[in-house]
Amino acid sequence: MRSCLGMLYQCGVSAMNKVRFRYEKEGKAKYISHLDLMSTMQRSFRRAGIRLKYSEGFNPHPYMSVALPLSVGYESSCELIDVALIDNVIPDVNTVVLPEGITLIDSYTPGRKFNDIAWIKISGNLQYNNPVTQSMVDGLENCLKKDSMIINKRTKRGHKDLDIAPYIKDISFNKKDDISFSAKISAQNPTINAEDLVNALDDGLKPDFISIRRVEIYDTDMIIFK
């Protein structure tokens, strides 16, 4: 099943027929892929009696689009999905039953396009096989707060060198058994992710395991995007 990002605005679907759902994805659900998530959402909406609007032709599909599809293994508190409906009614999120770990938080008529998303706040843990020391925290601070950090980043057109320093802000670290961190990173143009942060680290500071959670999304003015 393919996502219809942008097609909601190109197919005569009015704002009154489009609903945006905000949802969480955590626990075991973080291992559900993007395509499987779309299928899961579609089935759950149908079971709840929500009448989806479908495309025409030999292979009809619902008009559904997810903002910034989440990587497998990541958790999130701020995922968004737009759905085109036949009815001009905002569905009650409590009527939709989803697998454990996927929870609808809110539903409303969207006022902005996903293209307006500019920043994501993420948090996570860096886990090491060896004991964590304060010098490791200091090293992380030094690596990820430089004025310039060139990495070789994979894009749709291949690999290219990119200075990711301008696309990271408000990054901080805290040492306990592991090292926790929080950062705001560019969501689009370019897209920066946790793997890019790890790639910018010196070899001795790269974690053996990393867990990531999206916390919030913002527009260019750092206002929470809805």
pLDDT at residue number 55 = 87
Among 115, 144, 174, give the residue marking a domain's end: 115
CATH number for the domain harbouring residue 37: 3.30.70.580
Looking at the fold, whether 132 and 60 belong to one and the same domain comes out as no
Looking at the fold, whether 38 and 74 belong to one and the same domain comes out as yes
When divided into structural domains, the chain yields a total of 2
Domain presence at residue 225: no
Looking at the fold, whether 15 and 55 belong to one and the same domain comes out as yes
Residues 213 and 76: beta-carbon distance below 8 Å:
yes
Among 115, 136, 158, give the residue marking a domain's end: 115
Domain that holds residue 175: 117-218
Q: Within 13 Å, how many C-alpha atoms sit on residue 170's CB side?
A: 11
CA-CA distance, 115 to 193, in Å (whole number)? 17
End-to-end CA distance of the chain: 25
Looking at the fold, whether 87 and 21 belong to one and the same domain comes out as yes
CATH number for the domain harbouring residue 142: 3.30.70
Looking at the fold, whether 146 and 107 belong to one and the same domain comes out as no
Looking at the fold, whether 105 and 173 belong to one and the same domain comes out as no
Looking at the fold, whether 60 and 132 belong to one and the same domain comes out as no
Domain presence at residue 224: no
Written as six digits, the tokens of 86 are: 């036949």
Among 115, 149, 165, give the residue marking a domain's end: 115
Looking at the fold, whether 106 and 160 belong to one and the same domain comes out as no
Question: Which element (helix H / strand E) includes 197?
Answer: helix 194-199
Instruction: pLDDT tens for the chain, 226 residues: list them.
Output: 344 444 444 444 444 489 999 999 999 999 999 999 999 999 999 999 999 999 888 888 899 999 999 999 999 999 999 999 998 889 999 999 999 999 999 999 998 999 999 999 999 999 999 999 999 999 999 999 999 999 998 777 778 899 999 999 999 999 988 999 999 999 999 999 999 999 999 988 999 999 999 999 999 999 999 9
Widest Cα–Cα separation across the chain: 61
Using alpha carbons only, give the angle 222, 224, 226 rounded to the nearest 5 degrees. 140
pTM: 0.87
Domain presence at residue 186: yes
For the stretch 202-206, contacts whose Cβ atoms lie closer than 8 Å and that sit 24 or more positions apart, written own/partner, are 202/139, 202/143, 204/139, 205/136, 205/139, 205/140, 205/143
